[in-house]
Structure 1
Amino acid sequence: MMQKKQYINIIYTTILLGWGGVCTLKAQEPVHPIVQQVSFPKDTLQIIDFGAKGDGQFINTEPINKAITTISEKGGGVVLIPGGLWLTGPIEMKSNVNLHVQRDAVVLFTDDFGAYELVESNWEGEPAWRNQNPISGKNLENIAITGAGVIDGNGGAWRMVKRDKMTDAQWKKLVASGGVVDEGGKIWYPSESSLHGATTKNTGKGHAGQTAADFMDVKDFLRPNLLVFTACKRILLEGVTIQNSPAWNIHPLMCEDLTVRNLTVRNPWYGQNGDGLDIESCKNVLVENSTFDVGDDAICIKSGRDQAGRDRGMPTENVIIRNNIVYHGHGGFVIGSEMSGGARNIWVEDCSFIGTDIGLRFKTTRGRGGVVENIFINNINMVGIPGEAILFDMYYGMKGPLPTAGEQGDAVVEIPAVTAETPQFQNFVMRNINVNGAEKGIFFRGLPEMAIKNIVIEQANITAKKGVELIEASGIALKDLTLNVTEANPLVHVDNSKNIVFTDLKPVGDIDLLVRVSGKSTQNIVLTGAKVEEGKTISEFTNGASEEALVIK
């Protein structure tokens, strides 16, 4: 059981008083949550006693599920999967059961799509019809999957594959294996049904009165997530390797008291929707000492999509994520984009991201709504990040030209009203961030009607191609920031933002231009204690920005 953490003062933002005075607004960090743990009787049943065969050919769906049901009805205990290759269809968990997979055991889910029924489910934050999850449970209490063995979703049988993610030899082999290729020759699908689903609008989205029969023509496209627990309490996932999912690997939905410990979570880097862990509308969560190497976002916080998420109204809250390593993923730690129910009181500590596309990734868009707040991040290491080390983007998934810094300088732009559909990112504190290699160190892109606000970044050491870009941001404090960049023109760009304070900014290497200020609405930008060589250009003002918007101390 986790211990409570004492309240401490955290600076959320910096408020400027006129041009000279600066005051700090302080708030109290919430206490760490207490995550309730599982407990089981010592009784143990082996699946071989129910007729299971670990030869990789016999289908063990019935023996495994019978063992789980039997021990649950007896009051609970352990269902043991011993050494062997256990081919199976969907496994349905029951309350008070610990499914224990020994190290020399592999649970492999069948590639026979007929073994998976179409069921009412959830996909990317909205109700939908999907194939039955390989492992599932609903409204359960006190459940666990433990051990040191491997659980493999056989996802290669389900997933489409993009041509540009394969070598010529890999693509040729994939096409020769069967399946179909789209008209453009760019995407391989495992079947005609899968291709048909990909070209059908809103595939699988359920409406009143529809049944499974309405989706049979696109069944192969409706890939399941490997492990889904819905509205369950007291869950432990520990020790096992969970890999090769048709879609997301692990998806706890509306659960409470979840512990994820010492897991290895893997998906091919090219796997479509190959997320590692998606924690959606859950409360009281601990994720620690685990390793992720996946094809999409690695550790992700969600809470429903658009109207469906707002109607559910269940934020993901009280989450601790610590001592984890991510080797590949679209993001190391991610919030969004389906965050319409909100997210709050989340701690991310002592994690390393090695080669993730983006490091810390916070994404949303108009129409989502939801408030993401009280996020505390400390001691993060990043190496070889192809994109941004720290990214806030409120235009995620938008089609067509997106706003770039300064483009609204003289333009008349219609700004939407703030409604329940307007998302918000606010009250983040990040400390002790070390980055060796990224395309850009820090990038914020808020909305004109809703800035990214009240963000603190302290003690960050970043080596990247580009430095810092802040668009539509407010109340941002960056302190003790060391930037070693190869493309420093400018090092810092602030556009249509206000109340931004840079304290002890430390450029490394040749800096042609320290800061560019753009946009008519930019105001109260303070630069204090910056270490700049003589003869270098300090500031530049474009797209209607006033020179009075920048104060240098």
Structure 2
Amino acid sequence: MDSIKNLYNVCEFGVVGDGKTNNTQSIAKLIDVADSNGGGTIYFPAGEYVTGTIEVKSNMTLYLDSGCVILGSDNPSDYPMITRETLKGYNREGHSGLIKAFKCENITVKGRGVIDGRGYNWWHNPKNEHRPRAIQPILCDNVLIDGITIKNSAMWTVHPICCNNVTINGITIKNPSDSPNTDGINPESCSNVHISNCTVDVGDDCVTLKSGTEADDLQKHHPCENIVITNCTMLNGHGGVVIGSEMSGGVKNVVISNCVFSGTDRGIRIKTRRKRGGYIEDVVISNILMDKVLVPFVINGYYQCGGASADDMSLFSREKLGVSESTPVIRDINISNISAKNVIASAGYIYGIPEMPVEGLTLSNYNVKMADTEGEPKDKPIMAFHVPKAKGEGIHCANIKNSVFRDISVKIINGNGFELENAENIFVYGLRAEGCEKVTDIKNSENIQINE
């Protein structure tokens, strides 16, 4: 470390790693010193450092050495309220993140140390969406997060907002499975994001791509785009990799590959609803292994949770409604080489909305084996009103058109192998279904070609 230019050892600037002293002000003063000298590396040696928000500036690295633990302060006043934070797409106040940057460039958080948000000081009030994130760069360019471990985040763990060129590599995230809204990595309205070699074990979605909701003015027309997620392990969250439901600015040009999902409720999860608008398009997903998931792949156009519009029951009508700029669009999704075993609820569940069906889906080399579970169904395949609980069922598709299914193999214990409802121009090549009542069940559909 001694060879690094502009290296600042925090212990030489009044910062105390005793696990008790509140270092918020001392760290802030040190960062101001480094910033006045053009940036540098803020070095945390082994020790336990209690602090509130650390606001990183441009051309600055936080280096957390092995044995270093950053402990989030239990005092809310140590996390200043900010009014330009985007929380689920809305401009509202919220606490600054434990590590925050605003309109900066060339910022890095790396090392072999630990960030412990001590979220148990906040989780008792799960409706409080002002809880601080663990790492929160906003409107930044060139962001690197590498090698660290993050645990017990109070809210979403890594939440870049409107950033460009974000690299997240080799980090581990561990939040308790029952901790509320503790998503792992949530790029929101970001461009050129590369997430690789990470292990994410959380109480909500593991990795989620978002772009605001219901036309927030900060993020209107600002998509989440050019995203790569590869060589990651997702454990025990609500979803392995998720797109939405906050997608009003659009999500496009996404590659997800070479990942393992174990114990996540859903594997690949696309979720939205009427009035959220935006689009999800040009997504390529390949080479994913899954074990003990509820459903390997879902598209849910009737997502029932979150946001002001969730109380408007007309949005969840199964009838065909008018199309407007607030109608969400899902198209051109390519999924291949998926292998899932011990699946609990359904082999797949695709539920578009009738006025804007899912279009251009290609699903190929998709192999699913259900778990042999006893008792009544306990879980819904998707979070939508009027969708019943399921156990060991096949693939269900509704409100879908111009799509291809190729080399599909499902081993189920209930229901039909492959169901289509309100579908148009669907081509199925190589369908193998075992343990089903019927291989296919088709309703209210036209131009369906199936080659078993």
Instruction: Provide the C-alpha distance between the structure 1 equivalents of 2:394 and 2:217, rounded to a whole number of angstroms.
Output: 35
The answer on 1:451 being equivalent to 2:374 is: no
2:225 is paired with a residue whose SS is: strand
The answer on 1:52 being equivalent to 2:20 is: no
> What displacement does 1:433 show?
0.3
**Larger of the two Rg values belongs to structure:** 1
> What displacement does 1:114 show?
2.7
> What displacement does 1:309 show?
6.3
> What displacement does 1:111 show?
0.6
Deviates more, 1:114-123 or 1:369-378: 114-123
Does structure 2 conserve the Cα–Cα contact (< 8 Å) formed by 1:309 and 1:340? Answer: no
Match of 1:518 in 2: 443
Q: Residue type of the partner of 1:515?
A: T
Instruction: Provide the C-alpha distance between the structure 2 equivalents of 1:311 and 1:69, rounded to a whole number of angstroms.
Output: 30
The answer on 1:496 being equivalent to 2:422 is: yes
2:32 is paired with a residue whose SS is: helix
2:292 is paired with a residue whose SS is: strand
Match of 2:298 in 1: 391
Instruction: Provide the C-alpha distance between the structure 2 equivalents of 1:60 and 1:396, rounded to a whole number of angstroms.
Output: 42
1:58 is paired with a residue whose SS is: strand
Match of 1:129 in 2: 93
Match of 2:69 in 1: 106
TM-score by length of 2: 0.90
Q: Determine which of 79, 85, 92 is the counterpart of 2:55.
A: 92
Q: Residue type of the partner of 1:44?
A: L
1:260 is paired with a residue whose SS is: strand
Does structure 2 conserve the Cα–Cα contact (< 8 Å) formed by 1:47 and 1:80? Answer: yes
Does structure 2 conserve the Cα–Cα contact (< 8 Å) formed by 1:137 and 1:228? Answer: yes
- Cα 1:94/1:271, change in 2 over 3 Å: same
Instruction: Provide the C-alpha distance between the structure 2 equivalents of 1:259 and 1:251, rounded to a whole number of angstroms.
Output: 12
- Cα 1:358/1:309, change in 2 over 3 Å: farther
Q: Residue type of the partner of 2:299?
A: F
Does structure 2 conserve the Cα–Cα contact (< 8 Å) formed by 1:472 and 1:495? Answer: yes
> What displacement does 1:221 show?
6.4
Q: Residue type of the partner of 1:107?
A: I
Match of 1:244 in 2: 152
Does structure 2 conserve the Cα–Cα contact (< 8 Å) formed by 1:46 and 1:67? Answer: no
The answer on 1:257 being equivalent to 2:257 is: no
Instruction: Provide the C-alpha distance between the structure 2 equivalents of 1:301 and 1:309, rounded to a whole number of angstroms.
Output: 19
Q: Give CA-to-partner distance per residue, 1:12-70, whole Å, 9 cap, x none.
A: xxxxxxxxxxxxxxxxxxxxxxxxxxxx9633110011111111111111222222222
Q: Give CA-to-partner distance per residue, 1:238-286, whole Å, 9 cap, x none.
A: 0001121111011000000000000001211111111001111111110
2:215 is paired with a residue whose SS is: helix
Instruction: Provide the C-alpha distance between the structure 2 equivalents of 1:311 and 1:246, rounded to a whole number of angstroms.
Output: 24
**Larger relative contact order, structure 1 or 2 (CA cutoff 8 Å, min sep 6):** 1
1:308 is paired with a residue whose SS is: coil
Does structure 2 conserve the Cα–Cα contact (< 8 Å) formed by 1:493 and 1:516? Answer: yes
Residue correspondence of structure 1 range 411-422 to structure 2 within 5 A: 413=319, 415-422=320-327
Q: Determine which of 122, 131, 138 is the counterpart of 1:230.
A: 138
Match of 1:549 in 2: none
Instruction: Provide the C-alpha distance between the structure 2 equivalents of 1:399 and 1:478, rounded to a whole number of angstroms.
Output: 35
Q: Residue type of the partner of 1:158?
A: W
Q: Determine which of 460, 466, 481 is the counterpart of 2:366.
A: 460
Does structure 1 conserve the Cα–Cα contact (< 8 Å) formed by 2:66 and 2:111? Answer: yes
Match of 1:148 in 2: 112
- Cα 1:273/1:461, change in 2 over 3 Å: same
Q: Give CA-to-partner distance per residue, 1:350-374, whole Å, 9 cap, x none.
A: 0110000100000000001101100
Deviates more, 1:457-466 or 1:231-240: 457-466
Match of 1:43 in 2: 6
TM-score by length of 1: 0.74
Residue correspondence of structure 1 range 178-257 to structure 2 within 5 A: 189=125, 198=127, 222-257=130-165
> What displacement does 1:492 show?
1.2
Match of 2:330 in 1: 425
- Cα 1:402/1:148, change in 2 over 3 Å: farther
2:427 is paired with a residue whose SS is: strand
Does structure 1 conserve the Cα–Cα contact (< 8 Å) formed by 2:53 and 2:80? Answer: no
> What displacement does 1:224 show?
2.0
Match of 2:404 in 1: 477
Does structure 1 conserve the Cα–Cα contact (< 8 Å) formed by 2:189 and 2:219? Answer: no
Deviates more, 1:67-76 or 1:335-344: 67-76
- Cα 1:365/1:221, change in 2 over 3 Å: closer
Instruction: Give the structure with the higher percent helix.
Output: 1
Match of 2:261 in 1: 353
Equivalent pairs counted in the alignment come to 422
Residue correspondence of structure 1 range 76-87 to structure 2 within 5 A: 76-87=39-50
Q: Give structure 1 stretches of 5+ with no counterpart.
A: 1-39, 161-188, 199-219, 531-553
Instruction: Provide the C-alpha distance between the structure 1 equivalents of 2:9 and 2:28, rounded to a whole number of angstroms.
Output: 12
1:417 is paired with a residue whose SS is: coil
Does structure 2 conserve the Cα–Cα contact (< 8 Å) formed by 1:319 and 1:347? Answer: yes
Does structure 2 conserve the Cα–Cα contact (< 8 Å) formed by 1:309 and 1:341? Answer: no
Q: Give CA-to-partner distance per residue, 1:482-524, whole Å, 9 cap, x none.
A: 111111x21111101111111111123x3331111113xx101
Deviates more, 1:113-122 or 1:339-348: 113-122
Q: Residue type of the partner of 1:366?
A: R
Q: Give structure 2 stretches of 5+ with no counterpart.
A: 305-309, 371-391
